[in-house]
């Protein structure tokens, strides 16, 4: 039975990936942050699932989770995959948010991911004498390629993840461990439940209030109309089963407007298009 580790399986993409892989005969180790989530997910996913309780910002707990997985492996056995999914989304106008917001965002989405990846590399077969190697699948975002106003912390963390993934993939060629990136657009997940109230938030009364009201409403609607998380879960499964997967998978509804257009138009033109839409273009 092939074994995989997925971070952040409490909801959304992580839960969907764990569910689909369990149903297809994989044994899934999924990270959650508390016992309540552990009990809930374990009862849903059954015998092919084992929870690992750790936060990706807790280096000691990460190492302890590695030892728990290692104890289940036979000598020389590697896990088939590490899916780095855990993350948060923070934002706001750069001039109005504290730099600590960026630090918190990077601690979870970037530095935490690095710590998890480095800790699990030995179990993925990242050594020259290994007879089997697993894949690393990093859940990025189209925001890791297309940056928009008011989500600078989140986009910056995903841009960093993209660069890290490319560097790591090339370094790990010496061991045969592949690194693949999935770049989802709007997905129906719990992340949309945490969007600030468009009518009452910490930026109410600022110069950006009208633009933010429109921006938040737009994002909430995008989330409600997003793809089902199972679309990403099924892609995770297909990547694990594919001997020659692509490096990147952009998965988003309305791909032309949500992703392609920003790469086609001159940057200044796209800047003005976004600014006019949000009414933040100086007259």
Q: CA–CA separation, 90 vs 151, rounded Å?
A: 7
Q: Which two tokens stand for residue 147?
A: 């940056």
**Residue 216 confidence (pLDDT):** 84
**Residue 196 confidence (pLDDT):** 66
Q: Domain 3-191+228-254 maps to which CATH number in 3.40.190.10, 3.40.50.720, 1.20.1250.20, 3.40.50.620?
A: 3.40.50.720
Q: 216 catalytic, yes or no?
A: no
**Residue 191 confidence (pLDDT):** 63
- Chain CA centroid to CA 186, Å: 12
Q: What is the pLDDT along the chain (283 residues), one digit of tens a residue?
A: 899 999 999 999 999 999 999 999 999 999 999 999 999 999 999 999 999 999 999 999 999 999 999 999 999 899 999 999 999 999 999 999 999 999 999 999 999 999 999 999 999 999 999 989 999 999 999 999 999 999 999 999 999 999 999 999 999 999 999 999 999 999 987 666 666 666 667 888 899 999 998 888 887 777 778 999 999 999 999 999 999 999 999 999 989 999 999 999 999 999 999 999 999 998 7
**Residue 138 confidence (pLDDT):** 98
Q: Choosing from 26, 154, 216, 249, which is the catalytic residue?
A: 154
- Domain coordinates in residue numbering, the chain: 3-191+228-254
233 close to 20: Cβ distance less than 8 angstroms: yes
């Amino acid at each position: 039975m092939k074994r995989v580790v997925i971070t952040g399986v409490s909801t959304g993409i992580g839960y969907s990936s764990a569910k689909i892989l369990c149903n297809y005969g994989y044994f899934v180790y999924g990270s959650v942050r508390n016992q309540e989530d552990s009990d809930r997910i374990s009862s849903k996913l059954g015998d092919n699932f084992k929870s690992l309780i750790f936060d990706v910002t807790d280096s000691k707990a990460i190492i302890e989770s590695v030892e728990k997985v290692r104890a289940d492996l036979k000598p020389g056995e590697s896990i088939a995959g590490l899916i780095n999914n855990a993350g948060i989304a923070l934002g706001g106008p750069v001039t109005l948010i504290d730099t600590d917001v960026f630090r918190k965002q990077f601690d979870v989405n970037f530095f935490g991911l690095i710590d998890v990846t480095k800790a699990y590399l030995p179990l993925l077969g990242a050594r020259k004498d290994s007879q089997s190697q697993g894949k690393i699948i990093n859940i990025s975002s189209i925001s890791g390629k297309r940056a928009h106003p008011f989500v600078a912390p989140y986009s910056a963390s995903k841009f960093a993840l993209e660069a890290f993934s490319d560097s790591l993939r090339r370094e790990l060629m010496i061991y045969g461990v592949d690194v693949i990136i999935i770049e989802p657009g709007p997905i129906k997940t719990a992340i949309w439940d945490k969007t600030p109230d468009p009518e009452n938030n910490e930026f109410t009364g600022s110069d950006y209030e009208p633009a933010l009201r429109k921006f938040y409403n737009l994002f909430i609607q995008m989330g409600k109309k997003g793809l089902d998380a199972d679309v990403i879960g099924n892609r995770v499964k297909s990547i694990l089963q594919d001997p020659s997967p692509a490096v990147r998978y952009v998965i988003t509804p309305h791909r032309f407007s949500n992703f392609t257009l920003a790469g086609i138009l001159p940057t200044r033109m796209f800047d003005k298009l976004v600014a006019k839409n949000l009414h933040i273009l100086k007259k």
